Copies of this chain bind each other. A is one copy, B any other.
């Protein structure tokens, strides 16, 4: 009996999309987001460029798929740093996890935050996309940051803070993390000082939330050992 040749339902078939995505991630890691070539990608997967068009609709669609993949990766980093029972540890580890994600995936990071508004996720309330939707609605990674900041503030301050105030502070924290990491990736930070400066930023922010500097240093030291 002749084997069904290359059936369209062979394992590679529905895997082609994920294989292309994985190869694209590898190429973005190597050449940067703007150095991705459809022909090179197709060559790496043993297919033609048309497969990318039928599966992603073109290069922008492929980039958008990488974009959501990057946010899923970032969310995984945020989840791995979760410690709801210890708010200070939670915030410290999440800030460190953000930097580790950026340094581990500089290609994806530059694609997501590279300074050009490329894509906006179509959330459940995409009908109101023209309005200003809170960021945490669209990006679960930012929601985790808001939660960690809020928990840290509640834990160290007596009164429960205003939710809007928590969002604003979380955005400042995000800005601090993104700025330091971005400068580091762009080559403006001395590699020998980059980690120390990031740690001092963590200290800066956590003490602003009310934590004791010694406790923050303890968490930083414990996190540095892992």
- In the complex formed, the residue of B with least CB distance to A188 is B135
Q: Does A5 contact B (CB under 8 A)?
A: no
Q: Does A192 contact B (CB under 8 A)?
A: yes
| Chain B residues whose C-beta falls within 8 Å of the C-beta of A69 in the assembled complex | none
State whether B185 touches A182 (Cβ < 8 A): no
Which residue of the partner chain, among B120, B174, B186, B190, contacts A114 with CB atoms under 8 Å?
Answer: B186
| Chain B residues whose C-beta falls within 8 Å of the C-beta of A158 in the assembled complex | none
A95-134 interface code vs B (CB 8 A; 1 in, 0 out): 0000000000010011001111100100000000000101
State whether B185 touches A115 (Cβ < 8 A): yes
| Chain B residues whose C-beta falls within 8 Å of the C-beta of A200 in the assembled complex | 168, 172
| Chain B residues whose C-beta falls within 8 Å of the C-beta of A201 in the assembled complex | 172, 175
| Chain B residues whose C-beta falls within 8 Å of the C-beta of A34 in the assembled complex | 34
Q: Which of A32, A135, A177, A183 has the most CB of B within 10 A?
A: A183
Q: Does A204 contact B (CB under 8 A)?
A: yes
State whether A180 touches B182 (Cβ < 8 A): no
State whether B197 touches A171 (Cβ < 8 A): yes
Q: Taking the full assembly, how many copies of this chain does it contain?
A: 2
| Chain B residues whose C-beta falls within 8 Å of the C-beta of A59 in the assembled complex | none
Measured CA separation A133–B168 after assembly (Å):
35
In the complex with contacts A178-B183, A188-B135, A172-B113 CB distance below 8 A: no
Q: Which of A109, A176, A190 has the most CB of B within 10 A?
A: A176
| Chain B residues whose C-beta falls within 8 Å of the C-beta of A32 in the assembled complex | 116
**What are 23 A-to-B residue pairs whose CB atoms are below 8 Å?**
A106-B115, A109-B115, A110-B114, A110-B115, A113-B115, A113-B186, A114-B115, A117-B185, A132-B190, A132-B191, A132-B193, A135-B189, A168-B193, A168-B197, A168-B200, A171-B183, A171-B197, A172-B201, A175-B183, A176-B176, A177-B179, A178-B178, A179-B180
